[in-house]
Structure 1
């Protein structure tokens, strides 16, 4: 256990609930959010849970939850406060924000907060970019560990087990550091009713982009949104011979014709 309790910042994002079937607007300009249930991004919820567990272990003593968006994102901040976070900060913004701009905003907040641990979900389930944590670490010039499945903080160092293509990778790094969370890191808890009521009295500060001296780059343009291609119906075959014939015909590759003079 560390000798001195640490400070953690957790970024959370308001997204369409993962149980909701996404609808696309008729003009294909964006996703239709009207009358749609919104929730905290599941990976962000895991990040909040991990921060709360570190607080319960006496490693962290202050958890600041940050969300960027319109007033409605205060609902997700209050949810994080009900789970055990101490303070909330909404950065008011009514336009889409790119991963780089999110990282710049968090970098600016860090200059005031001087946190030891940044916990973010590895990606959001709407844009699926998986970029913000890496960009934030680059801007802060600090160590990072993405896709964390186990976090251990001791003596001002973080030992992180990461999920990689070949299995698991364990890395050690000094603090401050940026950590992005994967699905198997923990199982987020449900907030009890008394905790939900207590969360309403916890401090929640609202700042604007002007307060943080941030001007959005607007370097990403949304061209169109389409629904996934419908899966075609399968074909019933009467025998193994028909199956093998169908497999052979579907995997035949036409070889390119080579120039005779080559």
Structure 2
């Protein structure tokens, strides 16, 4: 091998070593998103959490005092967000969204079944409130002009519900629903495999993004947590 080729190889390796490596980058972009999201949890919510408890919904769930009316407001606003997300994915105003059709993580139909159950128990289903309406509108706007930011919300909404969301649902059901397991917390198929399939799709989509686009996606995580937190807070209203 000519010496100059050897120099080129060494230079490339040196440049790669010198480039900043992002936490989780070696495992794929989803791991980068997970790393950023975990830091925005409290220590009670996740061992990697760094956020101080400031809002009522950030306290341990065991200390919550939920009401059925508040829980219904949370479920209604959540359904509006899922309706919006799933409608955007189906219409795919940006082609890459079509990759995430029919993943098995969709929640709208499940929530519709839950509302039927609540009606049978004599409850009135409320109209969506400001947190859900605001978030849904924001997602629509992002989806048309900012795919990296939109994908950040897609990831955090579905993956958070499959983890901490399930735990919250179980604890709330223990307190106010006589341990009733809602359809919202059930999936058709093995959840771990459904999640892995979506991780693979997300990693594949992100392979075509520049480092700046990836960072832009990661930077949107805090807004995702802010909007989701405002909806979660409805449980305690």
Report TM bin, short chain. under 0.3
Which protein is bigger by CA-based radius of gyration? 1
TM-score, structure 1 normalization: 0.24
User: Which structure has the highest helix share of the two?
Assistant: 2
TM-score, structure 2 normalization: 0.26
Bigger relative contact order, structure 1 or 2 (CA pairs below 8 A, ≥6 apart): 2
